[in-house]
Chain A
Amino acid sequence: MKQKHSIEKYLFTVPVIIYSFLLILLPLLYVLLISFFKSDSYGGMIYTFTLSNYAEIFNITYIRIFLKSIGIALITTVICLFIAYPFAISLMSKKETTRNLLIKLVMVPFLMNSLIRTYGWIVLLRKNGIINSALIGTGIINSPLSLMYNNLGIIIGMVYTLLPFMILPVYSAVSKVDPNLVEASYDLGASKIKTFTKIYLPLTISGAFNGSLMVFIPAIGYFFITDILGGGKIMIIGNLIKNQFLTARNWPFGAAISIFLILMTLILVKIYKQLGGKMDDLGGM
């Protein structure tokens, strides 16, 4: 077709160019720049080139935080997978209209403020909370269990907050598996576990990785969950960055950690794409 579209072309493309450069590229490049500066002891920056911020990451204190953070994120991801798969596969036994309704119901709790929901867990988990009261009341235990202000509390909070990001892509992938394949597998005498590992898993791997990505990456940064359910004693990378920017005011070091996180994210995304994942499927709710 005769395309004389100079004006609309600008109208439709200039905003996204400005947006992506001004609000995405520029801030990130600036963070990259800061990460090579020195910090002074008054929370300012000295504009000289240094790699010391990156070197500092390898300080044993920070390596511990990194390992802890990645450990929590990994456990969170694995638990989410262990909830999402059985849930998604169980859902497939329902009629399509029921399934659609139930998937919507998965989303409803997430319309409530995430901090309030996290607070709901405090009410459930604390020493004099509902779970402990119930267990003591029924005589199962004598003294209250420590369900929060420790790793357990953090992981419960993370799993709870991030679970829908796992359920949705996993369900969407599972629902695309041809039911005939599953039946054929049972027909040929495969066990449930075999059917899962040989049929479901290979066919839904990119959905599972999509979900894992959307759980693992935020789990590294969600400082408010460690703050609330970890009682401020436990630090993950998110808390570390937050402190460097707002409390310790060592921006260059905080920036270096951020760059480190970006690199990690990009590597994970690369793997996702190699598994056949599509970028547009990420983060869709």
Chain B
Amino acid sequence: MDNVIVRLENITKKFDDKTILKNISLDIYEGEFITFLGPSGCGKTTLLRIISGLEEATEGKVYIEGEDVTNEIPAKRKVNTIFQNFALFPHMTVWDNINFGLKMHKVPEDEATKRIKRAIKLVQLDGFENRYPAQLSGGQQQRVAIARGIVMNHKVLLLDESLCSLDLKLKREMQGELKKLQKKLGITFIYVTHDQDEALTMSDRIVIINKGNIEQLDTPKEIYSKPKTAFAADFIGESNIIKTEITHINDDIAYIKLTDDVELAVPNNNYKKGKVTLIVRPENFNPHKNPVKESFEGVVKNYMYDGAVVKLEVEVGDKLIKVHLYDNDVFEEGEVINIDIDKNKVIIIGDKNEAEA
């Protein structure tokens, strides 16, 4: 698990005068499911293409299995890509599509046959060997694309927004399957997506990329509970992001202003007085009918029932905060409620070291 399989060193990519990726360094380990997550145009796909060799880095080096492949063509790199539109050759059958890479690498026919059969079995496409891509559903096409990649027996598979063209239900199904497949094969999946749910459910580690920079690299759990930047907090899950200040610190307790009238007391974690960004997940505000210790009042402005969760928008002073509620208390719009906070779960980012990783 600790063997580095892909190493990126100081990768910079410029298109004409635009810088797409800024000095990115990253180690990717054997057997992990790592996701590049970010909004469209953040450079995540370009980074993937630099690994596959379909794009050339302006500066920096790419190592695959310890070998410097910076100047190698895609064919010479021990990775394969699953394209967003699958790019299955429409004039070839499923079998011929999967066989294409093996033929190009001059794999002997009997071995090729064995490998194709195994790949087809793994993606559960038995019986579809002689179909053409246009005769398959989106999900089936996806499987062929994966089979075409894994049949090469490389230790890394690159997946570029591979599920985004599928409908929601199928997407959920395939997420589970992809994860299972990756475990079963024991190879590294490098997955690119703009969908945070997808990233959270499938990944061992997530790389959040924004404007060509790595914002945060962590496990899903860490990223969710301890986002290091406001961007990371905002991009993953829902957050209340409030620009405010720490008014004073009293040994173990830092006092942070929520509104002009409400101040929160949170455990001091080497904070300094001054301007900060306060991040609170909606589920870390707890609404109550009656006042509790250290609670403050707010007016319910909006009440949305969303199955397992009830989403409230509560006006506190001049702020509108998002509050999630998982039990069956019923609140009405316009009702005055009392809110307290999970003190240990608030995130405070000092204004100056926002970018600190």
Asked whether any CB of chain B lies closer than 8 Å to the CB of A2, the reply is yes
By a CB distance below 8 angstroms, the chain A residues around B222 are none
In whole angstroms, how far apart are the Cα atoms of A133 and B141 in the complex? 66
In whole angstroms, how far apart are the Cα atoms of A1 and B54 in the complex? 4
Closest A residue to B72 using CB positions: A2
Asked whether any CB of chain A lies closer than 8 Å to the CB of B55, the reply is yes
Asked whether any CB of chain A lies closer than 8 Å to the CB of B350, the reply is no
In whole angstroms, how far apart are the Cα atoms of A2 and B55 in the complex? 7
**Beta-carbon contacts under 8 Å, B61-93 to A:** 71-74
Chain B interface bracket (under 10, 10 to 19, 20 to 34, 35 or more): under 10
Asked whether any CB of chain A lies closer than 8 Å to the CB of B245, the reply is no
Closest A residue to B76 using CB positions: A2
Asked whether any CB of chain A lies closer than 8 Å to the CB of B53, the reply is yes
CB distance from A109 to the nearest CB of B (A): 34
User: Chain B binding site: helix, strand, loop or mixed by DSSP?
Assistant: loop
Closest A residue to B54 using CB positions: A1
CB distance from B58 to the nearest CB of A (A): 13
**Beta-carbon contacts under 8 Å, B177-218 to A:** none
CB distance from A17 to the nearest CB of B (A): 26
Asked whether any CB of chain A lies closer than 8 Å to the CB of B56, the reply is yes
Chain A interface bracket (under 10, 10 to 19, 20 to 34, 35 or more): under 10
In whole angstroms, how far apart are the Cα atoms of A1 and B55 in the complex? 4
Closest B residue to A4 using CB positions: B73
CB distance from A5 to the nearest CB of B (A): 11
By a CB distance below 8 angstroms, the chain A residues around B53 are 1-2
**Beta-carbon contacts under 8 Å, A1-31 to B:** 1-2
By a CB distance below 8 angstroms, the chain A residues around B72 are 2
CB distance from B76 to the nearest CB of A (A): 10
Residues 34-74 of B, flagged 1 when their CB comes within 8 A of A and 0 if not, give 00000000000000000001111000000000000001111
CB distance from B158 to the nearest CB of A (A): 14
By a CB distance below 8 angstroms, the chain B residues around A2 are 53, 56, 71-73
In whole angstroms, how far apart are the Cα atoms of A245 and B226 in the complex? 86
In whole angstroms, how far apart are the Cα atoms of A1 and B56 in the complex? 5
By a CB distance below 8 angstroms, the chain A residues around B71 are 2
CB distance from A282 to the nearest CB of B (A): 29
By a CB distance below 8 angstroms, the chain A residues around B55 are 1
In whole angstroms, how far apart are the Cα atoms of A2 and B73 in the complex? 6
In whole angstroms, how far apart are the Cα atoms of A2 and B69 in the complex? 11
By a CB distance below 8 angstroms, the chain B residues around A1 are 53-56, 73-74
**Beta-carbon contacts under 8 Å, A196-218 to B:** none
In whole angstroms, how far apart are the Cα atoms of A2 and B71 in the complex? 7
Residues 214-248 of B, flagged 1 when their CB comes within 8 A of A and 0 if not, give 00000000000000000000000000000000000
By a CB distance below 8 angstroms, the chain A residues around B73 are 1-2
Closest A residue to B56 using CB positions: A2
CB distance from A199 to the nearest CB of B (A): 34
Closest A residue to B55 using CB positions: A1
Closest B residue to A1 using CB positions: B54
In whole angstroms, how far apart are the Cα atoms of A1 and B49 in the complex? 9
Closest A residue to B52 using CB positions: A1
Closest A residue to B74 using CB positions: A1
CB distance from B319 to the nearest CB of A (A): 47
In whole angstroms, how far apart are the Cα atoms of A112 and B73 in the complex? 52
In whole angstroms, how far apart are the Cα atoms of A1 and B46 in the complex? 11
Residues 71-93 of A, flagged 1 when their CB comes within 8 A of B and 0 if not, give 00000000000000000000000
CB distance from B160 to the nearest CB of A (A): 15
CB distance from B323 to the nearest CB of A (A): 45
Residues 306-318 of B, flagged 1 when their CB comes within 8 A of A and 0 if not, give 0000000000000
CB distance from B233 to the nearest CB of A (A): 37
In whole angstroms, how far apart are the Cα atoms of A166 and B20 in the complex? 48
In whole angstroms, how far apart are the Cα atoms of A1 and B53 in the complex? 6
In whole angstroms, how far apart are the Cα atoms of A1 and B81 in the complex? 14
Closest A residue to B71 using CB positions: A2
In whole angstroms, how far apart are the Cα atoms of A20 and B72 in the complex? 37
In whole angstroms, how far apart are the Cα atoms of A2 and B77 in the complex? 12
In whole angstroms, how far apart are the Cα atoms of A1 and B76 in the complex? 12
CB distance from A124 to the nearest CB of B (A): 47
In whole angstroms, how far apart are the Cα atoms of A1 and B13 in the complex? 12
CB distance from B28 to the nearest CB of A (A): 21
In whole angstroms, how far apart are the Cα atoms of A2 and B54 in the complex? 8
In whole angstroms, how far apart are the Cα atoms of A1 and B74 in the complex? 8
In whole angstroms, how far apart are the Cα atoms of A223 and B46 in the complex? 59
In whole angstroms, how far apart are the Cα atoms of A2 and B57 in the complex? 10
Closest B residue to A3 using CB positions: B56
In whole angstroms, how far apart are the Cα atoms of A76 and B282 in the complex? 74
In whole angstroms, how far apart are the Cα atoms of A1 and B73 in the complex? 7
CB distance from A142 to the nearest CB of B (A): 65
CB distance from B18 to the nearest CB of A (A): 19
In whole angstroms, how far apart are the Cα atoms of A232 and B53 in the complex? 68
Residues 157-181 of A, flagged 1 when their CB comes within 8 A of B and 0 if not, give 0000000000000000000000000
**Beta-carbon contacts under 8 Å, A124-181 to B:** none
Residues of A with Cβ closer than 8 Å to B?
A: 1-2
Return the 3 tightest CB-CB contacts between A and B, nearest first.
A1-B54, A2-B73, A2-B56
Q: Given A1-B54, A2-B56, A2-B73, list of 8 further CB < 8 A pairs? A: A1-B53, A1-B55, A1-B56, A1-B73, A1-B74, A2-B53, A2-B71, A2-B72
Q: List 11 A-B contacts (CB under 8 A).
A: A1-B53, A1-B54, A1-B55, A1-B56, A1-B73, A1-B74, A2-B53, A2-B56, A2-B71, A2-B72, A2-B73
